[in-house]
Amino acid sequence: MSSLLKNMIRFVLFILFQVVILNEVPPLHQFIVPYVYFLFLLWLPFSINRFLLLVIAFLFGLTLDFFTGTPGLHAAPCVLIAYIRPYLLNLIIPQETTEQSYLEPSPRNIGWAPYGLYVGLLSFAHHFYLVLIEWLQFGNFLFFIGKVLGTTGISLLLIFITELLFNRKGKHRTNAA
Amino acid sequence: MKNIFLFIRRYFTFLSFLLLQVVSIILLSNASKTHEAFFSSSVNEVTGNFNQGYNNLRGYFGLKEINRQLAEENARLKNMLSSNFQASDTSVKTIIDTLVRDTLGRSRKFTYLPAHVVNSSYTLQSNFLTLERGAAQGVKKGMAVTGPQGIVGVVVEVSPNYSRVMSLLHRNSKVSAMMKKDNSAGSVEWDGVDPSHLILRNVTKGSKVAVGDTVLTSNYSANFPPKLIIGTVAGISSEASSNFYTLKIKTATNFFNVQYVYLIENVRYAEQMQLETSQPKTP
């Protein structure tokens, strides 16, 4: 399957999963909101153009916003992590070997520890920014700190489970692709 | 000139990042400033259509509970039928039918329109419901929305066939309320903590509030008819420095499974709004 088609299907599935299942989960606590939709952005291929990445992230976030009724609230953090992503990948991954031989980031391709760091930092950045925007609207510092930590924790747990469930094969990049 | 192009070329990614951020923030601030979902009707139609399909599936799981609620409401309404009231022979009390009242010159102020909920959220800080009934079926902005058990919210966005309701569980939601016991007024808000509890502010300490008291919509609200149930008092907190109670209200509506609601139209809403916003002429 071509990378474009695969990512288009993922786009739809991630949005549906977030809207239809995770947003319907009864809240356990004020601080805990399950978010995994942004994993779509983390799974995009290494070789993607930076500008294209930003535009995709914006559209992706806005699509979710159409369902939740908060235009811009999810789009802004998505654009932020899309902007940070290439820099972070450059930092934590040995470029010559990985980027040339693999298509997209996954624990198998780059190892569990660097992948964990990658996912952890980006989901923290996402939630930090998301809750910051909410906080500027409503205000309460304890709410801010608690929600960032609680939401990041639950997101990491869900992402970990997703990675175990969908064991994406470490596909090698071919000359033909 | 050349340098400007070089600069833009060099920082193209960063500039586009800034641009997209600014666009998002503008969208967001527009939306919360006007307390409205800032959507074109077309997007509303698309998400509405999707939600309707999904809701058809999900509706089956709630049928039992909905049946119970409707049966309960039917029972309550049937109890109010005039045929259930029999004037005894010695009584001087006369029963006046509502129809008769209307011909006596009382004009109708509120109309109720039933609607099906096709999407609702309660886990976010700003929650909305989507109803499958829009401008083509008589829905207008600002109409009040109530469920079988208690009030639900206010219509903020209308497209031809769908409408979006700002639920009571929204940080910008504000509804004028009063205690059933002594009619002391206050306003109901949500603090974002718990989807089954609201906050009632500005109830004067002169009022004798107790846990379990009923809270109703007040006479001062333009879109809500007076005396609809909002909830019951679940907790009382009073600060020494303030003259007002802050009450915790258990919502009458269960927002987790709202499926059918009524839209309430105040026929004289526009007239009242016009009068209230017009500037009084100073003599």
Q: Both tokens of residue A59?
A: 């559209």
Query: Are residues B108 and B157 both part of a single domain?
Result: yes
Q: Could you list the residue range(s) of the whole structural domain that residue B73 is in?
A: 41-85+101-170+259-267
Q: Is residue A170 part of a domain?
A: no
Q: Which residues of A touch B163 (CB under 8 A)?
A: none
Query: Are residues B54 and B159 both part of a single domain?
Result: yes
Q: Which residues of B touch A57 (CB under 8 A)?
A: 20
Of B39, B122, B195, the CB nearest to A71: B39
Chain B window 170-189: which residues touch A at a Cβ cutoff of 8 Å? 171
Q: Is residue A174 part of a domain?
A: no
List the single range of A38-42, B15-19, B78-82, B95-99 with lowest mean pLDDT: B95-99
Predicted confidence band at B72 (pLDDT cuts at 50, 70, 90)? confident
How many structural domains are present in chain B? 2
Q: Is residue B239 part of a domain?
A: yes
Can you spell out the DSSP letters for chain B?
-HHHHHHHHHTHHHHHHHHHHHHHHHHHHHHHHTTS----HHHHHHHHHHHHHHHHHHHGGGHHHHHHHHHHHHHHHHHT-GGG----TT-------HHHHHHTTPPP-EEEEEEEEEEE--SSSEEEEEES--GGGT--TT-EEE-SSSEEEEEEEE-SS-EEEEEEEETT--EEEEETTT--EEEEE--SS-TTEEEEEEEETTS---TT-EEEE-TT-SSSPTT-EEEEEEEEEE-TT-SEEEEEEEESS-GGG--EEEEEEETTHHHHHHHHHSPPPP-
Q: Is residue B244 part of a domain?
A: yes
Q: Is residue A160 part of a domain?
A: yes
Query: Are residues B54 and B180 both part of a single domain?
Result: no
Q: Which residues of B touch A69 (CB under 8 A)?
A: 37, 39, 121, 126-128, 164
How many structural domains are present in chain A? 1
Using one digit for the tens of pLDDT, what is the confidence trace for A92-140?
877 666 556 677 888 887 888 888 999 999 999 999 998 888 777 666 7
List the single range of A116-120, B53-57, B67-71 with lowest mean pLDDT: B53-57
Query: Are residues B249 and B155 both part of a single domain?
Result: no
The Cβ-side half-sphere exposure at B104, using a 13 Å CA radius, reads 6
Q: Is residue A154 part of a domain?
A: yes
Do the chains contact at A68 and B121, CB–CB below 8 Å?
A: yes
The domain spanning residue B68 has which CATH number?
A: 2.40.10.340
Q: Is residue B185 part of a domain?
A: yes
B189 versus A100: the higher-pLDDT residue is: B189
Using one digit for the tens of pLDDT, what is the confidence trace for A30-39?
778 889 999 9
The domain spanning residue B190 has which CATH number?
A: 2.40.10.350
Query: Are residues B149 and B231 both part of a single domain?
Result: no
Query: Are residues B165 and B181 both part of a single domain?
Result: no
Any CB–CB contact under 8 A between B257 and chain A? no
Do the chains contact at A54 and B20, CB–CB below 8 Å?
A: yes
Q: Could you list the residue range(s) of the whole structural domain that residue A128 is in?
A: 3-18+38-165
Do the chains contact at A79 and B192, CB–CB below 8 Å?
A: no
Q: Which residues of B touch A68 (CB under 8 A)?
A: 121, 124, 128
Q: Which residues of A touch B46 (CB under 8 A)?
A: 66
Find which of B10, B25, B28 to mutate to test the A interface (most A CBs within 10 Å of its CB): B28
Q: Which chain B residue has the Cα nearest residue A133?
A: B25
Query: Are residues B134 and B198 both part of a single domain?
Result: no
Q: Is residue A143 part of a domain?
A: yes
Q: Is residue B154 part of a domain?
A: yes
Distance (Å, rounded) from C-alpha B274 to C-alpha B281? 15
